[in-house]
Amino acid sequence: MSITKKSDDALPHVVVVGAGFAGLTVVKALAGKAVKVTVIDRENHHLFQPLLYQVASAGLSPANIAQPIRSILSKQKNAEVLMATVTGIDVANRQVLAGERSIGYDHLVVATGARHSYFGHPEWEEFAPGLKTLDDALDIRRRLLEAFEKAEVTTDALERERLMTFVVVGAGPTGVEMAGAISEIARETMASDFRTLDPNQTKVILLDAADRVLPFFDPKLSEKAKDQLESLNIQVRLGVAVQGLNADGVTTASDFIHTRTVIWAAGNSASPLVKQLPGEFDRAGRIHVTPELHLKDHPEIYVIGDTAHCVGPGGAPYPGVSPVAMQQGKKVAENILARINGDPASEFSYWDRGSMATIGRHRAVADVHVMKFGGLLAWLAWVFVHLVFLMSFKNRISVFLIWVWAYFTRQQGARLITGKRGG
């Protein structure tokens, strides 16, 4: 099919489910091409997920790290946005179902991401929220801030200990970043605000069943990150699996940790929508895709990002990180256009630019090929890279100003409790 002017309805219809990094990259890469694109998401906004922990830890506001999908795509004439929850996929008839509505497609991209997984204990979620959406972040923020407020009021010593103990489960980047942020809120921001409570007595405990933090990083950097966490008074307990969890605390093999606030940053499981597609699934619920990123028997259905199990050159699946998602998005747009033109699809390969994780206000670790470094330099690199990648110009400037302000005043900007309160 050649690219000539034709009415919208005659154009091939690409439906993208999910407007995270993967889905949005597909849509943007199809700008100006002779296709009609519909992107469906149940939220009205795209989220810059790497900074979500800063909303949870009251450093940033939701509007600093999220933008309406419609506004991101307002200038892209061939893209339409639908806010709806996709309830099913009719593979035989090439239809996406959203409640009573069905949307036909010629090419489908499923990029619905992952939720946290509780290793077969869904009942733990109530006591240990995970961090994937803005609402998750606002919920965690409310729990953190309320814990200090309640600790100030209580006259019961054990209750105060529970309230001032924060447990983060999972020592990947999110867990490390959350633990660092909580420790800094307590020691720097809250310390001046309380009269009877001493926020310096806050205990932050980072648990992981693995034997090191940041398992996807070079072992030397894991060691460095652990040192940096400990310098922030965070107890790092490795090789410790959670065996039980309730409103009063966390059970491990060796003890019971009294706490009212547990944050879950361990384990992902692919969005359940993908179960409706034909294929093989891995333990995390991700569907296997070909090197061209589509389903084995359905070259018109692509699955990418955290929802896809795509094997890299070493035989291991690519990790669920935003650079993989974005590069896959570009490849899918290429392959859709190739297929429309009758050309063969090409295989995905990942260009790993390195990884970074920040630990508190001016510590980080960076793993960039031959360069592996930690401390202030890594933190500055982290700030730079995140500012560059923040999608919208406006957000970038205001987030930068908020960071500069927070850096010099040691004040968090968004320490507001909103939303339904707990008991």
Pick the closer one to a second copy by CB: 372 or 415.
Answer: 415
Indicate whether 401 belongs to the interface with a second copy (CB under 8 A).
Answer: yes
DSSP letter at 3?
Answer: -
* Bridging pattern class, strands 36-41 and 114-116: unpaired
Q: Which stretch binds a second copy (CB under 8 A): 23-31, 175-183, 279-287, 400-408?
A: 400-408
- List the catalytic residue out of 80, 177, 188, 292: 177
Write the CB contacts of 119 (distance below 8 Å, at least 6 apart in sequence): 266, 267
**SS3 of 23, please?**
helix
413 binds a second copy (CB under 8 A): yes
**Nearest approach, Cβ of 66 to a second copy (angstroms)?**
5
Q: Alpha-carbon distance 400 to 102, whole Å?
A: 42
Pairwise CA distance, residues 271 & 44, whole Å? 18
Beta carbons of 221 and 372 less than 8 angstroms apart: yes
Distance in angstroms (rounded) separating the CA atoms of residues 368 and 182: 27
**Widest Cα–Cα separation across the chain:** 75
Length of the chain: 423
Long-range contacts of 198-201 (CB under 8 A, 24+ apart): 199/148, 199/164, 201/164
Q: Residue 374: left if φ>0, alpha if ψ -120 to 50, beta else—which one? A: beta
Site stretch for a second copy (CB under 8 A), options 64-72, 178-186, 230-238, 251-259: 64-72
State the nearest-atom distance from the C-beta of 68 to a second copy, in Å. 5
Nearer to a second copy, 197 or 207 (CB): 197
Q: Taking the complex as a whole, how short is the minimal distance between the CB of residue 415 and a second copy, in angstroms?
A: 5
Decide if residue 87 touches a second copy (CB under 8 A): no
Among 70, 212, 396, 410, binds a second copy (CB under 8 A): 70
- Give the residue, chosen from 32, 71, 121, 380, that forms a contact with a second copy under the rule CB under 8 A: 71
| Integer Cα distance of 48 and 274 in angstroms | 23
C-beta of 70 vs 288, nearer to a second copy: 70
Do β-strands 234-238 and 203-208 pair in parallel, antiparallel, or remain unpaired? parallel
**Contact flag: residue 404 with a second copy (CB under 8 A):** no
Among 62, 267, 279, 323, binds a second copy (CB under 8 A): 62
Residue 418 found at the interface with a second copy (CB under 8 A): yes
Is 280 a binding residue for a second copy by CB under 8 A? The answer is: no
For residue 198, state whether it binds a second copy (rule: CB under 8 A). Answer: no
Among 1, 44, 338, 400, binds a second copy (CB under 8 A): 44
- Out of 1, 31, 33, 63, name the contact with a second copy by CB under 8 A: 63
Site string for a second copy, 4-43 (x = CB under 8 A): ---------------------------------------x
Between the alpha carbon of residue 68 and those of residues 19, 168, 356, 397, the distances in Å are 10, 30, 27, 17
Q: Which amino acid is at 404?
A: V
- Binding-site member from 267, 352, 398, 410 for a second copy (CB under 8 A): 398
CA 104-109-110 angle, 5° bins = 105
Cβ proximity to a second copy: between 359 and 406 the closer is: 406
Q: How far is CA 161 from the centre of its chain?
A: 30
Task: Decide: is 158 part of the binding site for a second copy (CB under 8 A).
Answer: no
For 167, 195, 231, 419, the CA distances from 163, given in Å and listed in that order, are 11, 16, 22, 20
Residue 177 annotated to the active site: yes
Q: Are 305 and 22 in contact (CB under 8 A)?
A: yes
* Distance in Å, CB of 192 to a second copy, minimum: 5
* Contact range with a second copy by CB under 8 A, out of 134-142, 178-186, 201-209, 325-333: 134-142
User: Which residues in this chain contact a second copy in the complex, by CB under 8 A?
Assistant: 43-45, 61-64, 66, 68, 70-71, 74, 80-84, 98, 101, 134-135, 138, 145-146, 149, 152-153, 192-196, 394, 398, 401-402, 405, 411, 413-420
Active site residues: 177
